[in-house]
Amino acid sequence: MNFRNPKLLFKTVIAVLSAGTIILMYLYRWSLSESTWEYLTLLVIFAVAVMVWLIKGQKWEDLPWPLTFLWLEILALTIMHEFSLHDELWGIDRFSPYNLWYCTGAAVGVFLILYKLSRILFSKKSFWIGNILSAAVFLLTLSVPHLYNTAAAAVVEDRLSLAVSEESPGDFSYLAPVVGVEGYGFINELGEEVIPCQFDSIDYTGLFSGSFRIVASKHLFLGEHNEISYSYLLDKNGKQIGEGYDRIYDFIPEKNAIIVDNYGEGWGAINKNGEIIIPLTYKKEEVYEKLQEALPVSSTSFSTEGNGLYIIAESESGSLYVADKDGNVILSSEKDLKYPDQYFKSFEFAQNGSNAIIAEIICIEDGTWLSWNALYDSKGNLLLPAGNYEIHGDSENGWFCKMENLPSEEALFNPTRITYLNENLETVLEIEGLYEYAGDFKKTD
């Protein structure tokens, strides 16, 4: 072979790179994505086809340029695709793991059609025209994902932008999270939606260094191994404070510090006003060292004491009951439930100042297990009869939140009747059909 021939050298380089790519990806096959395996399979099939073509007596330098460009494209897409799943290199394939696969399939058809047409229409000039058209299609198909991702990036930016309430919120002192069709939002004690439903999770709600703050996140799934997570620091009106971050991790009130993380930069800290107090260039441990704070330690322990009472679970007998400090049983399945096919599954002490006990009761009807809730006072007296509803009592304004499912034809949205009750169990706010969940109210000032 005469490697001084640039055509021969070009094709040989492609062959060597293909062989190297196949070998390396096979060695690291456990970390390859499923869609990259499809590209790699196509590359192997193409390489084998070329080898068969050579074995049949064809010359290496006679490999048609359209096929050479197609081979180069498959090689380039295989490498770029795998890089793009683990990095934002070129932004390739960020929105669907198969859009490049479709481009490749389209390229095959376009190559063959253009090459065949050039041979029919231009006869002797078909060699050069076919080569030029093949090169043009090669460049075009590589640019299609970039153009696609540019348009999709605008969609992502719109999806991650914050929706603001059209009406200016009036005076209010409490906010509670709710879940609507579009995600999490917040209502005030008047039932007005102050912050529109738009978030995928609420990570923090409450007073921080004298100011009410909310941490809410949006998650956008972009395809295989591709997901954007964005966290926002908000005031009580839903106005964003500072910039958004990949993750808002921890709060240290005594230092007016909020630990944040941007995956491409590093860890740092901001204050309650969103101002950076530690640049996002450090490791997590280094940020805590600068703040002279210990790293948070996760714990699975919890207190079973509340309002002078104790929740006791006996491991040997499996019984669960509420007792006072002298051991007198306040609530138990044997004492307070009438039927043998009912038992208390859990107890929870309300934190709204009512000294109430929220109980979850398992009932068996016609072989079906049902989960009911009931409300008792601290002496074991029944306040709300057991029923198919959910109730919680951690609101800082003393209210209970009761939720009952409503019939719905929507598969992804289950509307509820949300009733807020005061300490006398009187209805003070009722919302029907707008949300599928509501939380407890937190004081905003």
pLDDT digits (tens, 9 = 90+) for 138-179: 565 555 555 555 555 666 777 778 887 766 667 899 999 999
* 180, 197 Cβ separation under 8 angstroms: yes
Instruction: Enter the pTM of the model.
Output: 0.67
Average pLDDT over residues 293-309: 57
Domain boundaries, the chain: 6-160, 200-290, 305-443
Which residue matches tokens 């490697």? 3
Specify the 3-state DSSP secondary structure of 68: helix
Distance CA 308, CA 327 (A): 11
Q: How many CB atoms lie within 10 A of CB 323?
A: 15
Alpha-carbon torsion angle 82, 88, 89, 90, nearest 10: 110
User: What pLDDT is attached to residue 407?
Assistant: 80
DSSP letter string, 290-307: HTT-PPP--------EET
Per-residue pLDDT of 203-246, as tens digits, reads 888 888 888 999 999 987 665 556 678 899 999 999 999 888 98
Give the residue, 23 or 138, on which the prediction is more confident: 23
Cα-Cα-Cα-Cα dihedral of 343, 346, 352, 354, to 10°?
30
Is the domain defined by 200-290 classed in CATH 2.40.10?
A: yes
Sign of CA dihedral 41, 43, 45, 47: negative
Token pair 């919302």 is found at 431
Ramachandran bin of 256, using left for φ above 0, alpha for ψ from -120 to 50, beta for the remaining angles: left
Query: Which H or E element spans position 135?
Result: helix 126-160
**pLDDT at position 158, please?**
72
Per-residue model confidence (pLDDT) at position 300:
40
Element (H, E) at 335: helix 333-336
The per-residue pLDDT of the chain, averaged, comes to 78
| Sheet of 329-332, strands arranged across | 305-306, 309-313, 320-324, 329-332
Region 248-259 average pLDDT:
89
